[in-house]
C-alpha cells in the first residue's frame, strides 16, 4: 500500500479507552468494547494490507478479573462471539489467529472458542494476529522461570546454559520477533503488565485517541512516527 514506508515487523497495541468512549456518549461501558471490536477489524485488515508480519493486541489482562462481574462476563462472551463472527473474515484476509495468555481460570467454553479460532486459521500464511487474553507478563515470566527450573532439577540442563534465548523459548511469544512498535491509545503512559520482556527495545507511540476512534489513518501516523526514529538498541 505504501511502498516507501518503513513497516514495523511486529506491532503491539494496548487498546485503551473503550469505557471513556462509551461514557462520553452516555452509553454503557460494554457498548465501548463492542465498538472496539469494529476498530480491531479495521486495524487487522490494515496491518495485513501493509505487510505487517505480527500484530499483538491486549484484550484481557490477568488484572481485568477485578472489574465488575458483569463486565468480565461480557468480555468472556465477546471473545466467544469474536471467534465465531470474525474467523471467516480472518481466513479471507489470510490471517492466522493465536492467543497469548494463561488458560487458568477461563471457562471451558472460552478455551474451546480460542482453540477453534487457532485451529481454523492455522494454515493462513499472512499476518499472525495474537490476542493477549487472560495475559499477564509477570505471570508469563514466572512460568518460564519455573519451566526452566524444572529442567535444571531434572538434570536436563546446567544453570550456566540459561540464557536469554532459553527464557524466550518459554514465553507465549516463543519463535516470534519482539514488537518493533507499541501503540497505546487514550493517552495512558504505562505498560499495564503487557509484554515486559518483549518490549525492551520497542518504540512507543502514545495517542490521545480512544480505541473505538482509532483508524487506519491513525495507524499510518504511528507508523510514520516509527519510521522517523533512530533505533540504536543500546548502541550509538
The residues that are catalytic are 16, 64
Asked if 160 and 182 touch (Cβ cutoff 8 Å), the reply is: no
Give the integer Cα–Cα distance in Å for 113 and 62: 19
Give the integer Cα–Cα distance in Å for 8 and 10: 5
Q: Which of 97, 131, 171, 223 binds ligand FPP (CB under 6 A)?
A: 131
Q: Distance from first CA to last CA of the chain, Å, rounded?
A: 32
Q: Which residue is nearest to ligand FPP (CB)?
A: 19
- Give CA 220 to chain center in angstroms: 18
Q: Which is nearer to ligand FPP, 27 or 199 (CB)?
A: 27
Per CB under 6 A, the segment of 48-56, 74-82, 112-120, 160-168 that binds ligand FPP is 74-82
Asked if 76 and 113 touch (Cβ cutoff 8 Å), the reply is: no
Give the integer Cα–Cα distance in Å for 109 and 115: 10
Per CB under 6 A, the segment of 44-52, 73-81, 97-105, 175-183 that binds ligand FPP is 73-81
Give the integer Cα–Cα distance in Å for 87 and 81: 10
Ranges within 101-130 binding ligand FPP (CB under 6 A): none
CB burial class (10 A; 0-12, 13-18, 19+) of residue 180? buried
Q: Would you count residue 223 as binding ligand FPP (CB under 6 A)?
A: no
Per CB under 6 A, the segment of 45-53, 72-80, 102-110, 151-159 that binds ligand FPP is 72-80
- Tracing cell 463472527 back to the chain, one arrives at 85
Q: Which is nearer to ligand FPP, 15 or 182 (CB)?
A: 15
* Binding residues with ligand FPP: total (CB under 6 A): 19
Ranges within 136-175 binding ligand FPP (CB under 6 A): none
DSSP structural state of residue 156 = S
Give the integer Cα–Cα distance in Å for 106 and 116: 15
Q: Which is nearer to ligand FPP, 148 or 214 (CB)?
A: 214
One symbol per residue from 8 to 37: x for binding ligand FPP (CB under 6 A), - otherwise; what is it?
-------xxxxxx------------x--xx
Q: Which of 7, 40, 55, 219 binds ligand FPP (CB under 6 A)?
A: 40
47, 154, 159, 182, 191 from 198: Cα distances, Å: 20, 28, 22, 11, 12
Q: Which is nearer to ligand FPP, 20 or 221 (CB)?
A: 20
Q: Would you count residue 82 as binding ligand FPP (CB under 6 A)?
A: yes
Interface residue list for ligand FPP (CB under 6 A): 15-20, 33, 36-37, 40, 59, 64, 75, 78-79, 82, 131, 186, 211
Amino acid at each position: 500500500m505504501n511502498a516507501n514506508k518503513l513497516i514495523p515487523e511486529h506491532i503491539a497495541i494496548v487498546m485503551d479507552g473503550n469505557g471513556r468512549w462509551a461514557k462520553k456518549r452516555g452509553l454503557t461501558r460494554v457498548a465501548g468494547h463492542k465498538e472496539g471490536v469494529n476498530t480491531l477489524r479495521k486495524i487487522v485488515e490494515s496491518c495485513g494490507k501493509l505487510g505487517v508480519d505480527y500484530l499483538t493486541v491486549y484484550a484481557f489482562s490477568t488484572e481485568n478479573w477485578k472489574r465488575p462481574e458483569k463486565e468480565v462476563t461480557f468480555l468472556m462472551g465477546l471473545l466467544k462471539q469474536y471467534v465465531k463472527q470474525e474467523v471467516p473474515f480472518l481466513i479471507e484476509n489470510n490471517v492466522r489467529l493465536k492467543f497469548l495468555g494463561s488458560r487458568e481460570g477461563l471457562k471451558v467454553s472460552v478455551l474451546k472458542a480460542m482453540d477453534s479460532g487457532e485451529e481454523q486459521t492455522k494454515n493462513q500464511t499472512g499476518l499472525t494476529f495474537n490476542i493477549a487474553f487472560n495475559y499477564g507478563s509477570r505471570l508469563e515470566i514466572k512460568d518460564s522461570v519455573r519451566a526452566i527450573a524444572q529442567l535444571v532439577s531434572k538434570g536436563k540442563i546446567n544453570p550456566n546454559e540459561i540464557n536469554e534465548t532459553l527464557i524466550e523459548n518459554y514465553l507465549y511469544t516463543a519463535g516470534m520477533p519482539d514488537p518493533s512498535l507499541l501503540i497505546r491509545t487514550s493517552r495512558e503512559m504505562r505498560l499495564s503488565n503487557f509484554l515486559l520482556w518483549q518490549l525492551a527495545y520497542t518504540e512507543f507511540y502514545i495517542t490521545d485517541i480512544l480505541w473505538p476512534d482509532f483508524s487506519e489513518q491513525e495507524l499510518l501516523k504511528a507508523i510514520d512516527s516509527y519510521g522517523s526514529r533512530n533505533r540504536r538498541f543500546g548502541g550509538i
